[in-house]
A and B are shown apart, each in its own frame.
Chain A
Amino acid sequence: MNLNTYTVSRSSKTARIAAILSAVVLIILIAAPWWAGRADMRLMGELFLYLALATLWNLMAGYAGLVSVGQQAYVGFGGYMLFALTMFAGLHPIAAILAAGLLGALASIPVAVLIFRLRGAYFAIGTWVIAEVFRLGFAQVSALGGGSGSSLPVAIVKSLASKRAMRGSLSYWLALGAAVVVIAAVYAFLRSRKGLALTAIRDNELAASSLGIDIWRTKFTVYVVTSALTAMVGALIFLQKLRISPDAAFSVNDWTAFVIFIVVIGGIGTIEGPIIGTLVFFALRETLADLGTTYLIVLGVVAIVIMLRAPRGIWGVIRNRFDLQLFPLGYRVNASNKDNGT
């Protein structure tokens, strides 16, 4: 057997095709203001923001083993920071979004130090407590409208763009940009040295630690970065909504339950999963929304059935059957076809 006939590569033909296709899709999506209506663009903007949230939650739960049910803490925090910084500090909305990310990272540091003391499922509920503390805390701030919330002043909305159509396009592009940046960042991170360490921790904590990986620090980094990006997405969400209140900003259903269902249905621990999950979620939502609460019951049942019957989600089933990987993270050994002598 000649070793030269084997090559180790990360990329594959499907991955290259997928990359070209996603570039084409991205260009079409960037051009949406020229071909889509206002309502469609709003819907797509929302979809991209959910995609960003799902990708971030997936990084935490699917790769770092940090299952949080309290990410609404950072969504709401980011939203409130957008309002506070534009209204009281006079920041431009886009600068405020970036600042919200920075402040989200700062806020998440003491939180992480505290709740990393809880393990597993108790960590999950601990994150929920933090979100509740944020919610009740912001409800006490009367300058931001207290429990009833406040609206973004017209002058600030106009500072984004004076024409309504332009504002619509801008907030669409920001949402699309957020999704692309988040997916690209997570992809790049997982392919890096740190990402490898993270995958090692997920597969076996004990073995990873014996190889010299600092587990606490790796998880801490993931938590802080995820929180910062989640806060920025939160700021974008409330820039679209133009109105914020503690109950909407820190809603466990909107910003965590749906996100978890998206990731579980699509496929946890893969980059493709949240993308598929978001598409399925919005398809379900648009078709079943008239059913009201029944739609949420259906969603819960679907998530439970998938968790029990196909724990790797829709993408996991596809990948097992066709051996596909659109965003290659692992390496594979290819036998060269030129030399079939072996």
Chain B
Amino acid sequence: MDWLNAVVQGTLLGGLYALFAAGLSLIFGVMRLVNIAHGDLIVLAAYLGLTVTTATGLHPLLALILVVPTMAAIGYVLQRGLLNQTLGDDLLPPLLVTFGLSVILQNTLLEVYTADPQKMDAGALETASFAVGGLTLGVLPALTFVLAVVVIWGLQWTFYHTAIGRAFRAVSDNQDIAQLMGLNRRHVYGLAMALALGVTAIAGILLGIRTSFDPSIGGGRLIFGFEAVIIGGLGNLWGTLAGGVILGVAQTVGAKIDPGWQILSGHLAFLVILAIRPNGLFPRIDT
């Protein structure tokens, strides 16, 4: 039963990792950009949530109403003002610019919010639980998982059933022809980054309710998201959810064996999958 419990808790944790990964997966799919600052943007969202909740007294989940559009706006401006300039055949500029951005974000957060660990207060939601078939599940982890499924379903639907989704797929397939067909790819990329950071905002708030956070944890979140993307297979959003779940389960089962092994066993699971299935479990995009 203990082991089953570890697997179930890990699955729910995987929902959070899938949310970390969804934004990463989305922007890679649309513009082949790997954003090294992604983890720091998740932490930024958590801090924005903290500012909103302390300033207005809103519940952290209601703070999403403000934080999601703010992050989306930041995403659009960031993409059009900075990241669009780095896109091209050369790999180095996007990598180094987002790496520089990561250092800037991390230290700005440190300057503004200090290095003290912070946490968002979600009241009764943090401790509420319910029993299912002999297992006790936290309401917050379950809610996180449901939100992850909803977000990924929403992204899938946006991609395949809306005009903007068609634009995303078009610039992803061939930017030059998409441009000839009247799509402004700079604007489309801006919208994709806005959407990705909107998702990141949800991930950041849920992270901030679940655990304490400080400005230095961005890199670790980036790695979890990245591992979920690679395990699931590039460009496959449902695969990313599966990847998040596998990572989460590996971590909780590892922690069950020895608490010091939690994060390490997640990384090892990732490396094993990389060794056996280099393209991930459910690949869609060839790079």
Q: Indicate if A328 sits at the interface (CB-CB under 8 A).
A: no
Name which residue of chain B comes closest to A128, CB basis. B223
The minimal Cβ–Cβ distance linking A254 to chain B, given in whole angstroms, is 12
How many residues in A have their beta carbons less than 8 Å from beta carbons of B?
42
Q: Indicate if A119 sits at the interface (CB-CB under 8 A).
A: yes
Bound together, the chains give a CA A136 to CA B264 distance in angstroms of: 6
Bound together, the chains give a CA A296 to CA B108 distance in angstroms of: 9
Q: Are A311 and B93 in contact (CB under 8 A)?
A: yes
Question: What residues of chain B lie closer than 8 Å to A252, measured between beta carbons?
Answer: 219
Q: Indicate if B36 sits at the interface (CB-CB under 8 A).
A: yes
Question: What residues of chain B lie closer than 8 Å to A137, measured between beta carbons?
Answer: 264
Question: What residues of chain B lie closer than 8 Å to A61, measured between beta carbons?
Answer: 92
Q: Are A136 and B267 in contact (CB under 8 A)?
A: yes
Q: Indicate if B77 sits at the interface (CB-CB under 8 A).
A: no
The size class of the interface chain B forms with chain A is 35 or more
Q: Indicate if A297 sits at the interface (CB-CB under 8 A).
A: yes
Q: Indicate if A257 sits at the interface (CB-CB under 8 A).
A: yes
Interface flags for A105-141 (1: CB within 8 Å of B; 0: not) read: 0000000001101111110111011001100110110
Q: Are B103 and A253 in contact (CB under 8 A)?
A: yes
Q: Are B223 and A120 in contact (CB under 8 A)?
A: no
Q: Are A133 and B271 in contact (CB under 8 A)?
A: yes
Q: Are B36 and A301 in contact (CB under 8 A)?
A: no
- Of B51-59, B94-102, B162-170, B201-209, the segment with at least 4 beta carbons within 8 Å of chain A is B94-102
Name which residue of chain A comes closest to B215, CB basis. A293
The minimal Cβ–Cβ distance linking B282 to chain A, given in whole angstroms, is 16
The minimal Cβ–Cβ distance linking A126 to chain B, given in whole angstroms, is 8
Q: Are A133 and B230 in contact (CB under 8 A)?
A: no
Q: Are B103 and A120 in contact (CB under 8 A)?
A: no
Q: Indicate if A33 sits at the interface (CB-CB under 8 A).
A: no
Q: Are B274 and A118 in contact (CB under 8 A)?
A: yes
Question: What residues of chain B lie closer than 8 Å to A303, measured between beta carbons?
Answer: 96, 100
| Contact surface of A with B, Cβ cutoff 8 Å | 61, 65, 67, 69, 114-115, 117-122, 124-126, 128-129, 132-133, 136-137, 139-140, 252-253, 257, 260-261, 264, 268, 293-294, 296-297, 299-301, 303-304, 307-308, 311
| Contact surface of B with A, Cβ cutoff 8 Å | 33-34, 36, 82, 85-86, 90-97, 99-101, 103-104, 106-108, 110-111, 219-220, 222-223, 226-227, 230, 234, 260-261, 263-264, 267-268, 270-271, 274-275, 278, 287
A-B pairs, top 5 by smallest CB distance, nearest first, are A121-B34, A117-B278, A300-B104, A300-B103, A293-B107
Would you list 6 pairs from A and B whose C-beta atoms are within 8 A, ordered by A residue?
A65-B91, A120-B91, A132-B223, A139-B260, A268-B92, A307-B100
